[in-house]
Amino acid sequence: MIRAKYTYMLLAATLLAGGLGAAAAQGVATDVATYDPSQLPAIQGKVAQYSLTPRGDVDGLILTDGTEVHLPPHLGTQLVYSVKPGDAVTIHGLKARAISMVQAMSVKNDASGATVTDNGAGGPPGPRGMQQDLSATGQIKEQLHGPRGDLNGVLLSDGTIVRMPPPEAQRLASTLTTGASLTVQGNGFEGPLGRVIEARQIGPDAAHLTPVAAPERPMWMHGHRPPPPPPGGPDAPPPAPR
């Protein structure tokens, strides 16, 4: 049991640091379903709202005490069916050191018992929905972070989630302080699951907006297919010209 617990903790830490690929590279077993997430620290709280990616995918929860709970976006649909805002939940996962954030391995609805477990199996993101022009003005309730702890947005007092690339969030960190007023313009999604804006301009008010650089996207997201790998594998030399 001690060995299994140690192995799971090592695996969970590896997942947090770099994903299943890194775990495999280090020779750690990647079948997370073999292990019991209840061996990890438990965090209890009440759900305030869903966490949303710039794509509009649900990638976790935000609790009423401000704790960010991260899960892979491919579990978003299962999470929405299992947990609703206002529900009391128990989360097993790894707690961040410096910020109120948890990389969840399981999320349980305390009332229904419905549980979402990250078993390590992933999948490609779904198709990106149609964005619309959105704007918001409000007070920053808290800063938001990616699974690695990098600042990547804020939560406004009305529940609007503002996202931006971590390098831009770091550059504009002085504007993203808790309690400050923020005006944001950009593209996003608004619906029953929440409201998220991928920032294009932000500032303390509409008269003092600063552009936010768009994230770099793979060519396939712009309608281009990636070139096929050369015959013989990625390390093979390119074919000789005819």
Q: Return d(Cα 162, Cα 224) in angstroms, integer.
A: 28
Is the confidence at residue 20, as pLDDT, over 60?
A: no
Give the residue from 16, 202, 198, 213 showing the smallest Cα distance to 105: 16
pLDDT, tens only, 172-215: 999 999 999 999 999 999 999 999 999 999 999 999 999 999 88
% the chain with pLDDT above 90? 64
φ and ψ at residue 206, rounded to 5 degrees: -65, -20
pTM of the model: 0.76
List, in order of start, the domains of the chain with CATH numbers.
Answer: 2-117 (2.40.50), 132-216 (2.40.50.140)
Integer CA distances (angstroms), 89 to 60, 77, 146, 165, 219, in order = 12, 17, 21, 30, 39
Average confidence score pLDDT of the chain: 82
pLDDT, residue 221, reads: 42
Higher pLDDT, 159 or 38: 159
Q: Average the pLDDT over each of 19-28, 31-40, 128-137, 149-158 and give the range with the smallest value.
A: 19-28
Percent of the chain predicted with pLDDT > 70: 71
Instruction: From 56, 29, 27, 61, select the one nearest 44 (Cα to Cα).
Output: 61
Structure confidence at residue 216 (pLDDT): 77
What is the pLDDT at residue 224? 46
The number of CA neighbours under 13 Å toward the Cβ of 129 is 14
